[in-house]
Amino acid sequence: MVSADRVQALQTAHRVLGYIQQDRLSPADAEAMTAEAAELYARHVSRAMLAHRKSASTDETAAEWSDEGAYFWDTRGRKYLDCLGGYGIYLLGHRHPRVVVAVEAELHRYALHSQELVDPLRAYLSHLLSLVTPGDLQYVYLTNSGAETVEMALKLARLATGRVPIVATVGGFHGKTMGALSATGRGVFRSPYLPLVPGFSHVPFGDLDALATHLRGLAAVGEPPAAVILEPIQGEGGINIPADDYLPGVRALCDEMDALLICDEIQTGMGRTGTLFAVDRVGVIPDILCLAKALGGGVMPIGALVARPHLWTRLEENPFILGSSTFGGNPLACSAAIAALEVTLADDIPGQAAQKGALILDGLSTLDLKHPGVMTAYRGRGLLIGMEFPDSATGYRVAKGLFTRGILVGGTLNNARVIRIEPPAVINNDDISTLVVALDEVFADEEGRP
């Protein structure tokens, strides 16, 4: 006998497939679905997550239902300007038409692969990545996410060097799997899981002297470092931009110590900061480059590790020793990434990010003069921009004020003191003006507060 739960599951699946296949939700379906989704979130996902999702929200829950370009719409048809960009994934905007065309075509041919035959799209994407990444970065391992990419980079560093110590930075964010979390530099995420993977240590970000002392100290006590891992600009840490001589200095120190440099460009890569990779701006060639987020063109999840040739020796002996990723580099994800690279190069996405980012920073500079003291700082490179406020409560009110005006921004993870402006590069000048006008109103409200 089929249980009542199974019957309910089948009925619910039919109903939801009906929603998915509708061109437009009826107002009744929209209301019913939004309320039901919120209730199911509380029961099966997390009450706290629901509260968090609503945190920047208006009084009623908003459920996302469609998107295009720099915008998305909720189930009730309300339009939002996306100035958060999915924390970096929507650099090309939502459902970029050329990415969608490629993925749709691939979907109608083959979606996943047999795991045994040569997969042409994996080969071509790897080739393209080796062409666009700096220096002799050549070998590619494809994954499904940022954390998985970092995980593989850390394993590769140990495999290739035969050394253990990995040096990361305070405030850095590399993901939340055990290895990636060991590199992540935030106590709130790490402390519940201690002890993490052994052999990790953290130095202050942006401080070459501290890094030099630490690396030389490790070597002096007989534990020379395998690798230094860092983000060229710390994203989740609060959009922290180091001095121009920092990355070249880190590269020189790694060379001195025979340690690898792993640059985590999961958030900064693919043009976000105004150059294709943030390391390009200062001419640094890492030994391992980590990509994810925007690599999938905002349509498919995919990550990639790109490594220099000498690191691949052990993998030539045994190609299975690094990782196994049943879904990593699947044809759908590869088709999205190949299309994303095409759009990025053909439409000069890095150039657009540089130019539009400068416009937003100009706007912030004007607002800072007009409403002195509301922001304690603002900074950014390309379309990775942070506004810093005296406390999280102010940042929260600003984010909420923008949301009520139909503009989404976000805090950095668990911290609203720095609010991120990270829009798609397809945002237009009118949208930027809309953002600046809304910020002007919200900042005026802040000034008016007792």
Ligand X SMILES: Cc1ncc(COP(=O)(O)O)c(C=O)c1O
CB of residue 448 to ligand X, shortest distance in Å: 35
Q: How far apart are the C-alpha atoms of 374 and 422, rounded to whole Å?
A: 20
In the complex with ligand X, the residue whose CB is nearer, 203 or 266, is 266
CB of residue 170 to ligand X, shortest distance in Å: 14
Q: Kindly write down the DSSP assignment for every residue of 169-184, as one continuous string.
A: ETT----SSHHHHHH-
Candidate list 72, 74, 173, 400, residue with the active-site label? 173
In the complex with ligand X, the residue whose CB is nearer, 53 or 405, is 53
Q: How far apart are the C-alpha atoms of 246 and 204, rounded to whole Å?
A: 12
Q: Contact, 345 vs 357, CB < 8 A?
A: no
Tokens matching residue 379: 């900074």
CB of residue 382 to ligand X, shortest distance in Å: 15
CB of residue 266 to ligand X, shortest distance in Å: 4
In the complex with ligand X, the residue whose CB is nearer, 267 or 352, is 267
Q: How far apart are the C-alpha atoms of 398 and 394, rounded to whole Å?
A: 6
In the complex with ligand X, the residue whose CB is nearer, 30 or 262, is 262
CB of residue 87 to ligand X, shortest distance in Å: 5
Q: Which residue is nearest to ligand X (CB)?
A: 146
Q: Longest Cα pair distance anywhere in the chain, in angstroms?
A: 72
In the complex with ligand X, the residue whose CB is nearer, 286 or 401, is 286
CB of residue 13 to ligand X, shortest distance in Å: 28
Count of other CB atoms within 10 angstroms of residue 147: 23
In the complex with ligand X, the residue whose CB is nearer, 173 or 389, is 173
Q: How far apart are the C-alpha atoms of 15 and 21, rounded to whole Å?
A: 10
Rg of the chain on CA atoms, in Å: 23
Q: How far apart are the C-alpha atoms of 38 and 36, rounded to whole Å?
A: 5
CB of residue 362 to ligand X, shortest distance in Å: 26
Taking Cα atoms as reference points, which of 113, 97, 115, 93 lies closest to residue 105? 97
In the complex with ligand X, the residue whose CB is nearer, 168 or 439, is 168
Beta-carbon contacts of 82 under 8 Å, excluding residues fewer than 6 positions away, are 67, 70, 71, 72, 90, 94, 408, 423, 424
Beta-carbon contacts of 183 under 8 Å, excluding residues fewer than 6 positions away, are 150, 154, 166, 168, 172, 174, 200, 229
CB of residue 423 to ligand X, shortest distance in Å: 16
Candidate list 74, 82, 264, 280, residue with the active-site label? 264
In the complex with ligand X, the residue whose CB is nearer, 19 or 87, is 87
Respond yes or no: is residue 173 known to be catalytic. yes
Helix ranges (DSSP H) in 244-391? 246-257, 313-317, 331-346, 349-370
CB of residue 360 to ligand X, shortest distance in Å: 20
Q: How far apart are the C-alpha atoms of 316 and 333, rounded to whole Å?
A: 25
What residues line the site for ligand X (CB under 6 A)?
Answer: 87, 145-147, 150, 173-175, 231, 235-236, 264, 266-267, 292
Candidate list 293, 400, 403, 443, residue with the active-site label? 293
Q: How far apart are the C-alpha atoms of 19 and 375, rounded to whole Å?
A: 43
Taking Cα atoms as reference points, which of 309, 304, 307 lies closest to residue 328? 304
Q: How far apart are the C-alpha atoms of 344 and 138, rounded to whole Å?
A: 20
Helix ranges (DSSP H) in 168-245? 178-183, 187-190, 208-220
Q: Contact, 272 vs 73, CB < 8 A?
A: no
Q: Using omega within 30 degrees of 0 as the cis cutoff, is the peptide bond preceding 232 cis?
A: no
In the complex with ligand X, the residue whose CB is nearer, 147 or 333, is 147
Q: Give the residue numbers marked as catalytic.
A: 173, 264, 293
